[in-house]
Each structure stands twice: as structure tokens, then as C-alpha cells.
Amino acid sequence: DTAVSQTPKYLVTQMGNDKSIKCEQNLGHDTMYWYKQDSKKFLKIMFSYNNKELIINETVPNRFSPKSPDKAHLNLHINSLELGDSAVYFCASSHGGVPETQYFGPGTRLLVL
């Protein structure tokens, strides 16, 4: 009955590899997000996605690309992984209405070696 789920929970990989993180929500929400949380616990939004409209945080490298096969899924693809990509990545969803409340997944802990 998990509202927002992410896979995998842990991801250890080598520099230069390409990886994906999957996110699914069963809340019927129409807006989904990806956040990056670094070792200092700073939580930064990377993308928000509503139907076919994508809002990108301009500080996010273009090696990161979100892909949404349908309204319930928003996957994150990362190309040419770098050491600095090591972080916890959270997916979230919201109804998109006013006021907005976001529901977060459990996070994916990415370690790039």
C-alpha cells in the first residue's frame, strides 16, 4: 500500500555508467517531482512534471533526464555518472492543486565510485 515507491533503494555504480531510478505513485496525483539530497541534508528540487509539462531546475546537468511513461510513473535517467552525483534521490507527488502537499518516496541512495 506504499503511496510513493522507488526502486532501487540502494545503487552503487562506477563513474561513467548510465543508471535509472524508477518511481511510482498510486495516489492518483497528476504532478511528480525529483529531488536530490546531498550529504549535508540540503534538499534541492531537480524536476517537476505534470502531464506533459516539465519544469527543469536550470542547475541540473543535462546528464539527468526524467521520463514519464504515464501519470503514475516518473523515472530518472542519469548518464555518465560522476562522483558528485552521489546523494539520496527522492521522488514525490502531489495533486497539483492549491494548496499543494507533496508525498515523498523512501529515497534511493546512489553511490558513485
Partner 1 sequence: LAKTTQPISMDSYEGQEVNITCSHNNIATNDYITWYQQFPSQGPRFIIQGYKTKVTNEVASLFIPADRKSSTLSLPRVSLSDTAVYYCLVGDFFPNAGKSTFGDGTTLTVKP
**Contact positions toward partner 1, by CB under 8 A?**
4, 31, 33, 41-45, 47-48, 50, 53, 55-57, 90, 92, 94, 96-107
CB of 31 to partner 1, least distance (A): 5
Q: Alpha-carbon distance 24 to 74, whole Å? A: 7
Please say which residue, 44 or 67, places its beta carbon nearer to partner 1.
44
Amino acid at 43: L
Residue 7, all three cell numbers: 526502486
Please say which residue, 15 or 55, places its beta carbon nearer to partner 1.
55
DSSP state of 24: E
Distance of CA 7 to the CA centre of its chain: 11
CB of 107 to partner 1, least distance (A): 6
Question: Measuring CA to CA, which residue among 54, 47, 22 is closest to residue 33?
Answer: 47
CB of 112 to partner 1, least distance (A): 19
| Whether 1 contacts 102, CB under 8 Å | no
Please say which residue, 31 or 112, places its beta carbon nearer to partner 1.
31
CB of 105 to partner 1, least distance (A): 5
DSSP state of 28: -
Please say which residue, 14 or 40, places its beta carbon nearer to partner 1.
40
